[in-house]
Amino acid sequence: MKKIFIASDHAGYKLKQSIIKKYSKLKKITDLGPFSNNSVDYPDFAKKLSKKVASNKGSFGILICGSGTGMAIAANKTKNIRAALCYSKKNTQLSRLHNNANIITLGERLIDKNNAFSLIKIFLSTKFEGGRHLRRVKKI
């Protein structure tokens, strides 16, 4: 079973807790914080999670903030991380098929929890196509 790491900031805390509750029965999820909805800085949690994903080959990460954008920007500063801001089924599927994304970022203020659950399911179950896409991913 692949390791899954999850983190958020205060704006994504509620959705993070819902995701942990839903998926912890099905998969091993490691919560990297925060552990309350007190104000925190999203880059700190993006960096913490990105380092975990980068050092655990084949693992995945889930990052949540208000929009998902800040987490994606911060996470993508880490070598070998391909964080994708996901908001639709199609863009989530393509992030895995073509980009081999290893972190999904979500915006709690932009999507409801059922949509988030659906996107996570797609993200975790979609395999990278490789082929011509591998050549491109290697250039990142």
Any idea which residue has 């819902």 for tokens?
Answer: 18
The DSSP code for 9 is: -
Catalytic-role residue among 98, 113, 121, 133 = 98
Six-digit token string for 127: 């395999």
Any idea which residue has 């391909």 for tokens?
Answer: 82
Catalytic-residue membership of 98: yes
Interatomic CA distance for residues 2 and 129, integer angstroms: 18
Question: If you count them, how many residues does the chain have?
Answer: 140
Interatomic CA distance for residues 37 and 65, integer angstroms: 11
Annotated active-site positions, please? Answer: 98
